[in-house]
Amino acid sequence: MEDTNPDQDVANTDDYEALLGQCLTADNPGFDTNPTFSPDGTKLAWLSMAGASYEADAVSIKLYDLVTREHTTLLAAEVDWAYSPNSISWSKDGTYLLFTADVKSRNTLCAIDASLGAKGPNGIGIMQSEGATTYHGEIAHNRYLTSKQSLTMPTELFTIEQGKKASPQQMTFFNTDRAAQTALGEPTEFFYQGANDETVQSWLLKPPGFDPTKQYPMAVIYHGGPQGSTGDDWHYRWNLQYYASNGFVVLAPNFHGSTGFGHEFCRAISGNWEVGGIDTIAGVKAALKEFTWIDKDRVVGLGASYGGYTSNWLNGNAPKDMFKALVCHCGTFDLKSSYYSTEELFFMETEFGGPAYTPESRLPSSPYNSYTPSTNLHKWETPTLVIHGAKDYRLVESEGISTFTALQRRGIESEFLYLPAENHHALNPQNSMVWHETVLGW
C-alpha cells in the first residue's frame, strides 16, 4: 500500500491500560521521531519536523516533562540553528542531550543543555566537527564512545571528552595497516558559483601519485536524495576513493538541495529538480577552467536515485560533448510514470506540488513535464550504462528498462546491468563487486 500520509507521532504509553497511549504530538502534521527518555524517566525528548509530508524539513528538538506535562522546544528549527539534528541521546546525568547533524558535509557531534536548550549560555556545543561521527554512548562521566570515518579513513572507534580541547582518542585500528598500504587520493574542498550565482561546495579528489603535468579523466559523482549530501565519510557504495585510486580526478558537488548548507539551500530543489543538474554543469565548467590537468574530453558522470535522474537529465540538457559517458543507477526516466509506480507517493506530491493527475500537472510549466528527463529524449547522445534492481519499489525497474530502451532505440551506445536480488541499492557483497567492476569497465 502506498504511503500517502507519512505523519509520525510520539505517544506516551506509561498507562499500560491505554494500549494506544496518549499522543503528545497530534497537533503536529510533520514527522516526530527518535523519542528517548531521560535517565530518570521523567522527561521525553524527540526530533520534530513541522511541515506535512516533507521528509527533509528543518528539525527541532522537543521535550516533554512527564511530571509537569509541559512541552518545551530546546532547539527551534530555523530560529536557533541553520542545521538539522539527525539523532538524539541523553547524557547519563540527564543534563545534556547529544546529537549529530549534517554541517557543511560533515556529520558533526553536538551537545545542548537539556534544561535551557539552544538559548542557554553554552548554546549548541560542537564536540567533533571533522569527518563523520556517530555517537554510541557515555562510558564515563562526560566521556563518550563514538565512531568516526572520513574520505581517507574507514570507520574506527574513538572516545571524546566533553569540554576538553584534547583531540579524540582513537581506540581501534582495524583498518590502519591496510589503509596505509592503499594508494588514496587527496581530498580538498572546491567552491564555485552555481545557480542564482550562489556558492556551491564540492569535494575534489586528485588521484594517488598526482602529477600536475599530466592529463587526468574526471569522474563527476552526484548524490541521491535529492536532499542529502556527499560527505567527508567512507561510503561503501559511493566511495570517492574507488575512482581516485583508479586514476580519476573526482568531483562530487553538493548542489542546491543538499543538506548541511542551510535550510533555504536545501529547499531550493523542491519543485525545481533541474537545479542539481545546473549546479553539476557549473561545477564541471569551473573545474575545467581552474585545473589544466583535467582532460575535458574524458569527463564522465554517474549517480543513483536522484543521481540517476541527473544522469538522464544531463543527457538531454548538458552542453554537447561535456560528458564522454554516463551511469544511471536506479534513476528516473519519466516523472509521471514513476509517480504511478512508487511506494512513496507523498514524496513526489510534496516535491512537485501535488499528484500527477491534477489540471496543474498537465500544464507545460508543471515540474512533472518541464523537469522530466524524457522531455528532451530527442537530444540524448551520450553513451550510458543503466543499472537497476528488481526489488526497487522507490523507482521501479520499469524506469531503468525505459531508459535503456530509449537509448537503444535512439541508437546510443548503452548497456543494462539488471540485479534481480537488489532493491534501490546494490547491497549484496558479490553484487557490489559486479557493480563496481561493471561501472569501472564502462
pLDDT in tens, 198-241: 999 999 999 999 999 999 999 999 999 999 999 999 999 999 99
* Averaged pLDDT, 29-36: 95
337 in active site: no
pLDDT of residue 260: 97
Catalytic residue, from 263, 329, 424, 425: name it.
Answer: 424
Q: Residue 23: what residue type?
A: C
| 145 has a pLDDT exceeding 70 | yes
pLDDT of residue 386: 98
Grouping H, G, I as helix, E, B as strand and the rest as coil, residue 27 is: coil
pLDDT of residue 407: 98
* Sheet of 32-37, strands arranged across: 32-37, 43-49, 59-65, 71-75
Confidence of residue 19 (pLDDT cuts 50, 70, 90): low
Catalytic residue, from 334, 392, 402, 425: name it.
Answer: 392
| 181 has a pLDDT exceeding 50 | yes
* Averaged pLDDT, 174-195: 96
| 7 has a pLDDT exceeding 90 | no
* Averaged pLDDT, 30-36: 95
Q: Say if residues 315 and 326 touch (Cβ distance below 8 Å).
A: yes
| 2 has a pLDDT exceeding 60 | no
Catalytic residue, from 38, 105, 305, 374: name it.
Answer: 305
Q: How far is CA 437 from CA 382, 383, 392, 394, 417, in A?
A: 20, 17, 21, 25, 11
* Averaged pLDDT, 121-146: 93
pLDDT of residue 1: 47
* Averaged pLDDT, 166-190: 93
pLDDT of residue 32: 95
Confidence of residue 263 (pLDDT cuts 50, 70, 90): very high
pLDDT of residue 21: 75
Question: Which pLDDT tens digit goes with each residue over 302-354?
Answer: 999 999 999 999 999 999 999 999 999 999 999 999 999 999 999 999 999 99
Question: Which pLDDT tens digit goes with each residue over 342-375?
Answer: 999 999 999 999 999 999 999 999 999 999 999 9
pLDDT of residue 22: 82
392 in active site: yes
Mean pLDDT of the chain: 94
Region of 429 please: left (phi>0), alpha (psi -120 to 50) or beta: alpha
Percent of the chain with pLDDT over 70: 95
* Averaged pLDDT, 82-101: 96
Question: Can you tell me the distance from the alpha carbon of 107 to that of 129, in angstroms, rounded to the nearest whole number?
Answer: 7
pTM of the model: 0.93
Which of 220, 132, 212, 125 lies closest to 163 in space, CA to CA? 125
Grouping H, G, I as helix, E, B as strand and the rest as coil, residue 265 is: helix
**Helix (H) and strand (E) counts for the chain?**
10, 22
The three grid cell numbers given for residue 232, joined into one nine-digit string: 567527508
